[in-house]
Amino acid sequence: VGNIGAPDVTMLSQDISCNGACDGTVTASVVNGSGYSYSWSNGSSGATQSGLCPGTYTVTVDDGSGCLAIESVTLTEPAEIIIDSIMTTPTACGDSNGVIEVFAHGGEGTLTYLINGVDTVNPIINVAGGTYTVEVADTTGCSVSQIVPVPNTGSFGITVSKVDVTCFDECNGQAFVNIGPPPGTGPYSIQWTTDVNDTLNTLTDLCPGTYGVQVTDETGGCVAVDSVTIEAPAEIELDNVITATPDCGQNNGSIEVIASGGVGSLNYQWNGGPADSVYNSISAGLYEITVSDANGCTLTETIPLSNPTSPSISVATQDASCNGDCTGSAEVTVAGSDYEVMWSNNETTEMIAGLCPGNYGVVVTDTTNGCVAADTGSVGTKGNLEIELDILNNSNCNALTVCEGEIEAIVTGGDMPISYNWSNAGTPDSNVLAGLCAGTYSVTATGNNGCEAIAVGQVVDVPALDVTVDTVIDAQCWNSNNGSVDITISGGNPDYTINWNGPGYSGDTADIDNLLPGEYTLRVSDEGDCVVFDTIQVETQTRLSVSALDTTLCGLGDTVEVYANASSDYPITYEWQNNAGQTIDTGRTTTVIHEERIERRLVTASSNGCARVDTAIVRSRGVPVADAGNDTTVVAGARIRLGGNPTSNEAGSTYEWGPDQADLSGFDIANPYVRPEQTSTYSLKVTNIYGCETWDFIRVTVTNAFDFPDGFSPNGDGKNDVWELDFLSEYRDCNVKIFNRWGQVVFESEGYDEPWDGTYNGNDLPVGSYYYVIDLGTEDFTEPITGPVTIMR
């Protein structure tokens, strides 16, 4: 909890760049004023902390007058990229048909894949035998890599052996490769996947890690690959320290240490004491224990032992300011007044200064009773400022005559902010210096605490980097991988880095072969990061194209000819095959009786051995349904609707009505209207989306007047028992009323689905004349139709 009126502190942070890294940065920024002191939860001081791992960091800012501000910030890291497994398929000597397939997950965003630093796709195909570095990267630029050997089948043998590093923090491992059995022809070339691509049988001074080796038989062209992992023993650590405190002035205390790690059994040696993990019969003080393993690796620690009634003490340390400086300090605070102080460096004051980084022990003796308190403190380096120069660009890349060299100073550690002072006067305070001519440049980087580091780099003038394409040999056929490209690289600043990419191919040598036809891109860079690009087209010596033409039929049972289109620089032969692979024709066309979906495989070959394959498919799309409607009879001038419900059963079909001179409301719609004046036949053609057609016709008979029967005989003999008005079926909205001679309605119907049977309320009406009034319910006939009708029995 901070004080009221404490400094106003803002926390600035940079999260960890990649999983497992410790490159986070936090800065406590105070709005106004100066002279503040900073105390961090990790024991460090200064406004800025760098090289941090994931976690929460708390700072206490003191303004010098006792007012404190306390703030915290949490640094996070991206998700880890995990390579679950890598599967490889070997390839024969001299071939490039091996496969590397990577199974990975995690990271941020979509994962991408590189082989030997070149972007590729997963799985990686057309791989020659050799040792490859496969890298999996995410969208943040984080990546993990693994050495992957792709062997040649039937190759000579190699044996790889190793010597692991001796101690946890050393780099003295060794790796060896021996050729055979079985032996090859020789001579051999060897290449290890180290930073400098070692070419010897034996590697020394190796740090822990995995190293791949590729041995090439320069005569037979076969390669043998393997890898070896140099391991380090576990670090020797003190897992537990058990103490028994001695009485004041007595030798009845003890210390027991429990350690782990190292190689083999661990040995213990107390300074001036026994060779054992337990040191008995000792008084209060400082005791140094050294733990060693079978390899001679050691761990030395100082353990304080105090009396139970000794003075209460605490030790505070101040780190040394800069690398190599001895400006640290340590101070012991004692609760009491009568005591003597003795440090492990024989100093006798509470505070000691001018300390180099290291561990310091202190013993405080109460002079009134002889009781002793002991403790230790560690002095580190808070500057840790290191610098190196990266020559981003040498002068005269690509033969430009201007000074375009560029240097970047890369600083790790230090107390932020960092200032830069370059050797050429007038340059900006920046870590990047550009527009440089050839020459030597130095920079001094200074941290906020005054620590300095100096680095020197050289920008050189180099001739322009250039690539000459010497020969391009085209592939014989469209699917032959026997093309090749030879190039010569000159100028620039060797060593060169070469990256080829093309159809199913990636490579890093100047001359490449086993190529399919297609476009190959080349990127060449030198040590000065000058880059040139080129694109080379590998053509086909024999140009052969073929297509078997698909056919669509409207129905089954038809006979159809299937055609092929082909062209070549050489004479062409044709071979048609059925689904069983049997040859059924050898001409440009083949005949098919279409009973169902049929496929015909076409193989064409030119006279020099190239061949292409295509497949023709004969499909039946079926014919659509067409319904023009039922034949009908109407009165002249009445409007009727043509077509069915629906007129066709296929969505997307088109309609064409005829004849052209008919007075239809539309000729291309499903249900047009027409007012025929004379009896006519109308045609309908329905065409579906595949072009298949169906026809239908409707005949409309036109009469000049409605036919009203003038009587009927409802006597139950099954003949003329109801008053039939068939034409009313065309007028669904009609209204029919029947009146007796006194004007009473004896029958009424909306529509005329049930004809009148000569009854009223279920009772037979007497023989006689009645009067009808019929409203057709259409705008075509606005006046009702009237007349008499007679019931006869």
Where is the domain boundary, 512, 538, 564? Answer: 538
Closest CA to 226 of 118, 132, 102, 86: 132
User: What is the pLDDT averaged over residues 385-405?
Assistant: 64
Which ranges of 488-540 would DSSP assign to H, the alpha helix?
none
| Listed range (48-52, 467-471, 536-540) with the worst mean pLDDT | 48-52
| Pairwise pLDDT comparison (57 vs 42), residue with the higher score | 57
Tell me the per-residue pLDDT of 462-502, one tens digit each, with 9 for 90 and over: 677 889 999 999 988 877 888 999 999 888 777 788 999 99
pLDDT band at residue 345, thresholds of 50, 70 and 90? very high
| Pairwise pLDDT comparison (121 vs 602), residue with the higher score | 121
Closest CA to 100 of 54, 46, 136: 136
We report the CATH number of the domain holding residue 748 as 2.60.40
pLDDT band at residue 280, thresholds of 50, 70 and 90? very high
Beta bridge partners of 745: 739
3-class SS string, 146-157:
EEEEECEECCCC
Q: Has residue 757 got a pLDDT over 80?
A: yes
Q: Has residue 398 got a pLDDT over 60?
A: no
Count of the separate structural domains present in the chain: 9
User: Are 549 and 615 found together in one domain?
Assistant: yes
User: What is the pLDDT averaged over residues 737-756?
Assistant: 94
User: Are 494 and 529 found together in one domain?
Assistant: yes
Share of the chain above pLDDT 70, in %: 89
Question: What pLDDT sits at residue 412?
Answer: 75
Contacts 24+ apart (CB under 8 A), 318-321: 318/45, 318/379, 319/44, 319/45, 319/357, 319/379, 319/380, 319/381, 319/382, 320/355, 320/356, 320/357, 320/379, 320/380, 320/381, 320/382, 320/383, 321/381, 321/382, 321/383, 321/449, 321/450, 321/451
Phi, psi of 116 (to 5 degrees): 55, 40
Is residue 1 assigned to a domain? no
Q: Is residue 249 helix, strand or coil?
A: coil
**Is there a contact between 360 and 352 (Cβ–Cβ < 8 Å)?**
yes
Where is the domain boundary, 682, 703, 724? Answer: 703
Is residue 625 assigned to a domain? no
pLDDT band at residue 261, thresholds of 50, 70 and 90? very high
Tell me the per-residue pLDDT of 562-599, one tens digit each, with 9 for 90 and over: 777 777 777 878 887 877 778 878 877 777 766 555 66
* Tokens found for residue 410: 């890369």
User: Are 13 and 61 found together in one domain?
Assistant: yes
Is residue 356 assigned to a domain? no
User: What is the pLDDT averaged over residues 30-50?
Assistant: 75
Is residue 206 assigned to a domain? yes
Closest CA to 246 of 254, 238, 256: 254
User: Are 255 and 228 found together in one domain?
Assistant: no
Q: Which range marks the domain in which residue 685 is found? A: 632-703
| Pairwise pLDDT comparison (792 vs 649), residue with the higher score | 792
Q: Has residue 400 got a pLDDT over 60?
A: no
Q: Has residue 33 got a pLDDT over 70?
A: no
Per-range mean pLDDT, top range of 65-69, 149-153, 243-247: 243-247
User: Are 721 and 783 found together in one domain?
Assistant: yes
pLDDT band at residue 705, thresholds of 50, 70 and 90? low
Q: Has residue 522 got a pLDDT over 90?
A: yes
Dist CA 72 CA 120 (whole Å): 43
User: Mean pLDDT over all residues of the chain?
Assistant: 85
Q: Has residue 431 got a pLDDT over 80?
A: yes
Going by C-beta distance under 8 Å and a sequence separation of 6 or more, which residues neighbour residue 196? none
User: Are 228 and 238 found together in one domain?
Assistant: no
Q: Is residue 313 helix, strand or coil?
A: strand
Q: Has residue 616 got a pLDDT over 80?
A: no
Tell me the per-residue pLDDT of 294-332, one tens digit each, with 9 for 90 and over: 999 999 999 999 999 899 998 888 878 777 788 889 999
Q: Where are the beta strands (DSSP E) in 7-142?
A: 9-14, 24-30, 37-40, 48-52, 55-62, 68-75, 81-89, 91-92, 98-106, 112-115, 118-120, 124-127, 130-137
Is residue 732 assigned to a domain? yes
Q: Has residue 236 got a pLDDT over 90?
A: yes
Is residue 351 assigned to a domain? no
Question: What pLDDT sits at residue 556?
Answer: 59
Tell me the per-residue pLDDT of 114-172, one tens digit each, with 9 for 90 and over: 988 788 888 888 888 888 889 999 998 899 999 898 888 878 888 999 999 999 989 99
Within 10 Å of residue 740's Cβ, how many Cβ atoms?
A: 16
User: What is the pLDDT averaged over residues 79-83?
Assistant: 94
We report the CATH number of the domain holding residue 256 as 2.60.40.1080
pLDDT band at residue 30, thresholds of 50, 70 and 90? confident
**Is there a contact between 384 and 413 (Cβ–Cβ < 8 Å)?**
yes
Q: Where are the beta strands (DSSP E) in 539-606?
A: 544-548, 551-553, 559-568, 572-577, 583-585, 589-593, 598-606
User: Are 475 and 445 found together in one domain?
Assistant: no
User: Are 444 and 472 found together in one domain?
Assistant: no
User: Are 146 and 164 found together in one domain?
Assistant: no
Question: What pLDDT sits at residue 240?
Answer: 95
pLDDT band at residue 399, thresholds of 50, 70 and 90? very low
We report the CATH number of the domain holding residue 665 as 2.60.40.10
Closest CA to 280 of 332, 315, 242: 242
Where is the domain boundary, 620, 644, 664? Answer: 620
Question: What pLDDT sits at residue 325?
Answer: 80
Is residue 99 assigned to a domain? yes
Q: Has residue 63 got a pLDDT over 90?
A: no
Going by C-beta distance under 8 Å and a sequence separation of 6 or more, which residues neighbour residue 617? 550, 551, 597, 598, 599
Q: Where are the beta strands (DSSP E) in 121-183?
A: 124-127, 130-137, 143-150, 152-153, 158-163, 173-179
**Is there a contact between 485 and 472 (Cβ–Cβ < 8 Å)?**
yes
Dist CA 88 CA 84 (whole Å): 14
Is residue 112 assigned to a domain? yes
User: Are 41 and 95 found together in one domain?
Assistant: no
